[in-house]
Chain A
Amino acid sequence: MRTRIRAGSLRYLGRRLGFYLVTFWAALTFNFLIPRFMPGDPAATMLRRIQQLTGQAPTPDQVRSVRLFFGGARENLPAQYLHYLNDLVHFRFGLSLSEYPTPVVDLIAQALPWTLLLVGTTTILAWIIGTALGAYMGWKPGSRFDAIFAPTTTFLHAIPAFWLSLVALWAFAFKLGWFPVSGAYDPDVPYQINNIWFLLSTLEYGALPALTLIFIGFNGWLFTMRNVMVTTVSEDYVLLAKAKGLPTWRVLFKYAARNALLPNVTGLALAIGGILGGVLLTEVVFTYPGLGHRLYRATVDHDFPVMQTIFLLITLTVLIANLIADSIYVLLDPRTRDEG
């Protein structure tokens, strides 16, 4: 019996893995096709822009790499495609155009830790706050707490993250002066991981972006948790637990919340990828040197190799997060195991 269940869930996960591989391949292909199907001569436009940006005529090397990026005229499309895939397999992502000749990989490697730090901590904190509050609100729907919080969170959830970041920046950093206005660390402190003052300054500089992201982020979790909780609370087994005379907190957390948690648990895995949209713009507002800011700079400077590599990275993250979510689902919800 047990082995059969295991085989069933493995088959299910295997099918999902296959689907994600196909999706990743589609993303790769999109990435390859988009620049080649743009109207006009994008390569010439880009070379002109590089000249405007740097004030110098592009070097022959630069011209060649731009031409190659948009698909050199010498090769036909399938050959270019194979070339492109071969480059990706060997992790050759090309050179940045706006900061020529820095490899794209280096630029991203600089930005990635900052985003991981900011996104990782804020997502988890927002999840914990939102889920706990939502469980409490859904426990007694229609209570005063619920009546006040439900409309407020509706409004908060509808606020564009980048705008709230602007307002927070204006109010807390500029007007009140509680936080630094931009950046992720104190520029006067030497940039060293093992320097305690540097680490402390990252906390000081990261506090406001982090608080803003948590403030925006917890509302969504609160919503789903509350609504699932409302329906769970009226289930028979919760009534039985209450009838047994168990303490309220025990019924709330061990019986009701535990079962209402499923959508939020899988949601957390998905959010790691999905939240990037909001984080991206928040980083721009706070000039936080993460991936979002890098992507923004790349878009403004028409640095397409950087843009595309970041896009691939985001896609990969989203797909891995999806796979993790699927696995968690199989672990937590026995019904999915029978499928397939």
Chain B
Amino acid sequence: MLYGFLRNSKVRIGLAVFAAFLLLALLGPWFVSAVLGTTPRAIDYDALGQPPSSDHLLGTTLPGSDVLAQVIVGARGSVFVGITSAVLATVIAALVGVPSGFLGGKLDHGLTAFTNLFLTLPSFALTLIIAGYVQGAAWWVIALIIAAFEWPGGARTLRSQTMSLRGRDFTVAMRMLGESKTRLVFAEVMPHMTGIVSAMFLRACVAGVFAEAALSFLGIGTTGSVSWGTIIAEAQGQSAILNGLWWWFVPPGLCIALLGTATALVNFGIDEISNPRLSAANRKLMKRFRRAARTVQPEVAR
């Protein structure tokens, strides 16, 4: 499973891009101060709102900060919120979905209703309202709020997956041997869901980055720290458009889109593995097979 997963080129490209952004988030601030020798808030009074040049590879903002430095440091602000919210959302999804699917009964009814309730509520509007009340919160508070409305989809998937695993022969056999329920869940059922959980995690991660960017754009995200969303928000707030400073708001948005594409690629790869009919490689094989069949057929007819 894992081997087939990594052999898929879409998955490999997607994971590579994701890893690159992760690295950028970890090392970005160090890279900016050590290699570029600047900070995202440093002001170059000789270059206010200048287009990309050799001095400032991605140009400068209207107040004279380096856009490249901001985008690199912003990776941390965005990706950290994304990852934190994804970790929280995945944990909640597992805590709600797995017991609900495994134990069934009244507990399952209750937890399913709870999940459906959160699934149906318009999450972005609710996130917006709560974030609006705690304006200017720390980045982890924002991550917490995002996670609170990100988990239900995952919980539903995990529940149905657990239900199917619960009935498999190996779990039944282990239950017959008298394994405890906790051990059954953690040692027998959970390991079979690593694929689903990691896909879920990636998706939640990007959803978190998106939500953070959207909240920052509305001016109610984290204050003080730089993220891709805050860069775009600043550009919009200081009328970058009317001044024609496209290099200010284009790079951070491209970064978000790239990260989103990477996740979509990984998910495609997973879909192709679980549903072979969607696979591009299989289709090529089919085509070759059909062509071969066509060339062979006339001979048979003869």
**Are B257 and A23 in contact, CB atoms less than 8 angstroms apart?**
no
Q: Which of B166-215 contact A (CB under 8 A)?
A: 206, 210, 213-214
Q: Which residues from 209 to 252 on chain A have a C-beta closer than 8 Å to any C-beta of chain B?
A: 227, 230-231, 234
The one of B124, B126, B128, B261 in contact with A158, judged by C-beta atoms closer than 8 angstroms, is: B261
Query: Nearest residue in B to A223 (C-beta to C-beta)?
Result: B264
Q: Are B121 and A26 in contact, with the CB atoms below 8 A? A: yes
Can you name the residue of chain B whose Cβ is closest to the Cβ of A142? B283
> Which residues from A are CB-within-8-Å of B153?
none
CB <8 Å contact, B133 and A322: no
Q: Among residues 9 to 46 in chain A, which have CB atoms less than 8 Å away from a CB atom of chain B? A: 19-20, 22-23, 26-27, 30-31, 34-35, 38, 42
**Residues of B118-147 contacting chain A, CB below 8 A:** 120-122, 124-126, 128-130, 132-135
Bound form: Cα–Cα A295–B117 in Å: 23
**Which segment of B63-71, B155-163, B243-251 sits at the interface?**
B243-251
Q: Are A170 and B214 in contact (CB under 8 A)?
A: no
10 contacts between A and B (CB under 8 A): A38-B133, A158-B258, A160-B210, A167-B246, A170-B249, A174-B244, A231-B277, A274-B122, A315-B122, A315-B125
B241 touches A166 (CB 8 A): yes
The answer to whether B278 and A230 have CB atoms under 8 Å apart is yes
Binding-face segment, B19-27, B48-56, B217-225: B217-225
Task: Indicate whether A299 sits within 8 Å of B132 (C-beta atoms), given known contacts A166-B249, A314-B122.
Answer: yes
Q: Say yes or no: B260 contacts A159, CB within 8 Å.
A: yes
**Is A302 a contact of B132 with CB atoms below 8 Å?**
yes
Give the interface size bracket for A toward B.
35 or more
Interface check B164, CB cutoff 8 A:
no
A128 at the interface (CB under 8 A from B): no
Docked complex Cα distance between A234 and B279 (Å): 14
Q: Which residues of A contact B265 (CB under 8 A)?
A: 154
A159→B122 contact, CB < 8 A: no
Please give, as numbers and ranges, the residues of chain A lying within 8 Å of B124 by CB-CB distance: 276-277, 280
- A284 near B218 with CB under 8 A, answer yes
Say whether, besides A154-B264, A166-B253, A307-B129, A285 and B236 are in contact (CB < 8 Å): yes
Chain B contact residues: helix, strand, loop or mixed = helix
Chain B hits for A162, CB < 8 A: 213-214, 217, 232
Contact B257 A273 (CB under 8 A): no
B133 touches A160 (CB 8 A): no
Q: Are B129 and A163 in contact (CB under 8 A)?
A: no
Q: A162 vs B232: C-alpha distance in the bound complex, in angstroms?
A: 9
Contact among A142, A281, A295 with B214 in the assembled complex (CB-CB below 8 Å): A281
B108 to chain A, nearest CB (A): 16
Given A27-B121, A314-B125, are A170 and B218 neighbors across the interface (CB < 8 Å)?
no
Which residues of B are found within 8 Å of A277, using beta-carbon distances?
122, 124-125, 214
| Chain A residues with CB under 8 A of B268 | 154
A178 to B203 alpha-carbon distance, docked (Å): 37
Shortest Cβ gap from B171 to chain A (Å)? 27
Residue A90 at the chain B interface, CB threshold 8 Å? no
Contact at B133–A281, with CB atoms within 8 Å? no
From residue B51, how far is it (CB to closest CB) to chain A in Å? Answer: 14
Q: Does B287 contact A (CB under 8 A)?
A: yes
Chain B: residues with CB nearer than 8 A to chain A? Answer: 113, 116-117, 120-122, 124-126, 128-130, 132-135, 206, 210, 213-214, 217-220, 232, 235-236, 241-242, 244, 246, 249-250, 252-253, 256-261, 263-265, 268, 271, 275, 277-278, 280, 283-284, 287
- Complex partner residue of B218 from A19, A273, A296, CB under 8 angstroms: A296
* B contact residues around A160 at 8 Å (CB): 210, 213-214, 253, 256-257, 260
The answer to whether A157 touches B260, judged by C-beta atoms less than 8 angstroms apart, is yes
Are A299 and B134 neighbours in the complex by a CB distance under 8 Å?
A: no
Q: Which of A122-169 contact B (CB under 8 A)?
A: 141-142, 154-155, 157-160, 162-164, 166-167, 169
Which one of A38, A142, A280, A307 lies within 8 Å of B280 (CB-CB)?
A: A142
Residues of A within 8 A of B241 (CB): 166, 169-170, 174, 181
Q: Told that A155-B257, A167-B249 touch, could you supply 4 new A-B pairs with CB distance under 8 A? A: A34-B129, A174-B241, A276-B125, A300-B219
Which A residues are in CB contact (< 8 Å) with B232?
162-163, 166
Q: CA separation between A273 and B119, bound complex, in Å?
A: 13
B117 and A163 form a contact (CB under 8 A): no
* Cα A304 to Cα B129 with chains together (Å): 8
Min distance, Cβ A312 to any Cβ of chain B, angstroms:
9
- Partner of B121 from A23, A174, A285, A296 at Cβ < 8 Å: A23
Asked if B253 and A281 make an inter-chain contact with CB atoms under 8 angstroms apart, the answer reads no
- Chain A residues contacting B129 (CB-CB under 8 Å) are 31, 34, 307-308, 311
Task: Check if A318 is an interface residue, CB within 8 A of chain B.
Answer: yes
Complex Cα spacing A280 to B126, Å: 13
